[in-house]
């Protein structure tokens, strides 16, 4: 079975996010960028499947600017076999990404597509679900456990009320949560090998997908600064404040 993993280049989780001076978006110039942490977990899971013999090939796909090739290189250094880079200099919305991924799935014919449950930059949490709908495939979102056997994937989903175990037919789309695994560090020999692994580059046009945004961002602003709190003397005062100041009870 072939496994396709979708990865996104995002602002590194350690970086303090700053809004651009003109309010047009988040500052990404000269900011450290890395692979979306959820996607690292997706890559790790795919590699473990190949190591366990349940998958034969792991293909890492990224959609984004020229530098996204570096993010694909990181996945290759972790152990993915080859990469596909859809070069796209403009911002892409989840629907466009899902359409592009659908076109790639149709070409590559994988048995499983693994995605991070969401990207830490826009926190959309939509791409995996949209992709599954477009493909008409089963989906398992927010999984913390995955076992593929026969024609099924047994997944454990992290839902609000606890854990939900479901069996889905493959081919399927799954999106991964934090507790699925702990991604490995790329080893030095693998970093060097990654340089020689192939990355196919293509454009949205090649895949026949219109990626023009359907939304217009009017303005991006910093959230209001948090005000210092006050200490209340007793419970009665607290209830009073909640009632009359915050008006929440």
Question: Where on the chain is the footprint of another protein (CB under 8 A)?
Answer: 14, 30, 32, 70, 73-74, 77, 185-192, 194-195
In the complex, least distance from residue 30 CB atom to another protein, rounded to whole angstroms: 4
Nearer to another protein, 188 or 215 (CB): 188
Nearer to another protein, 16 or 234 (CB): 16
**What sign has the CA pseudo-torsion 74, 79, 85, 88?**
negative
Nearer to another protein, 17 or 159 (CB): 17
In the complex, least distance from residue 205 CB atom to another protein, rounded to whole angstroms: 27
**What sign has the CA pseudo-torsion 30, 32, 37, 42?**
positive
Nearer to another protein, 185 or 249 (CB): 185
In angstroms, rounded to a whole number, what is the distance separating the alpha carbons of residues 166 and 190?
35
In angstroms, rounded to a whole number, what is the distance separating the alpha carbons of residues 29 and 12?
12
In the complex, least distance from residue 184 CB atom to another protein, rounded to whole angstroms: 9
In the complex, least distance from residue 88 CB atom to another protein, rounded to whole angstroms: 21
In the complex, least distance from residue 208 CB atom to another protein, rounded to whole angstroms: 31
In the complex, least distance from residue 83 CB atom to another protein, rounded to whole angstroms: 14
Nearer to another protein, 187 or 237 (CB): 187
Pairing of strands 138-149, 152-159: antiparallel
Task: Read off the tokens for 60.
Answer: 């890492």
Torsion angles phi and psi, residue 22, rounded to 5: -90, 5
Q: Provide the angle, in degrees to the nearest 10, between the axes of the packed helices 37-52 and 68-78.
A: 40
Nearer to another protein, 94 or 183 (CB): 183
In the complex, least distance from residue 68 CB atom to another protein, rounded to whole angstroms: 14
Q: What strands, in cross-sheet order, belong to the sheet with 82-87? A: 162-169, 152-159, 138-149, 172-176, 112-116, 2-7, 57-64, 82-87, 199-202
Is 15 buried (19+), middle (13-18) or exposed (0-12) by CB count in 10 A? middle
How many angstroms separate the first and last alpha carbons of the chain? Answer: 55
Nearer to another protein, 22 or 160 (CB): 22
């Amino acid at each position: 079975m072939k496994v396709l993993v979708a990865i996104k280049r995002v602002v590194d989780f350690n970086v303090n996010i700053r809004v651009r001076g003109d309010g047009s978006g988040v500052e990404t110039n000269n900011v450290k960028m890395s692979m979306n942490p959820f996607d690292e977990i997706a890559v790790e899971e795919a590699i473990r499947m190949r190591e366990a013999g349940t998958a034969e090939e792991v293909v890492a796909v990224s959609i984004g600017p020229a530098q996204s090739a570096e993010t694909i290189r990181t996945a290759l250094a972790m152990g993915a076999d080859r990469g596909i880079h859809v070069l796209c200099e403009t911002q892409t919305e989840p629907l466009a990404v899902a359409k592009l991924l659908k076109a790639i799935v149709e070409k590559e014919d994988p048995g499983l597509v693994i995605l991070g449950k969401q990207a830490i930059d826009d926190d959309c949490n939509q791409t995996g679900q949209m992709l599954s709908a477009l493909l008409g495939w089963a989906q398992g979102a927010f999984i913390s456990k995955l076992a593929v056997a026969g024609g099924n994937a047994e997944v454990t989903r992290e839902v609000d009320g606890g854990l939900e175990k479901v069996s889905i037919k493959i081919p399927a789309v799954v999106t991964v949560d934090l507790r699925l695994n702990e991604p490995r560090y790329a080893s030095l020999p693998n970093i060097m090998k990654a340089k020689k692994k192939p990355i196919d580059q293509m454009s949205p046009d090649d895949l026949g997908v219109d990626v023009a945004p359907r939304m217009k961002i009017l303005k991006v602003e910093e959230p209001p600064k948090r005000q210092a709190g006050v200490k209340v003397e007793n419970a009665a005062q607290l209830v009073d404040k909640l009632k009359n100041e915050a008006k929440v009870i």
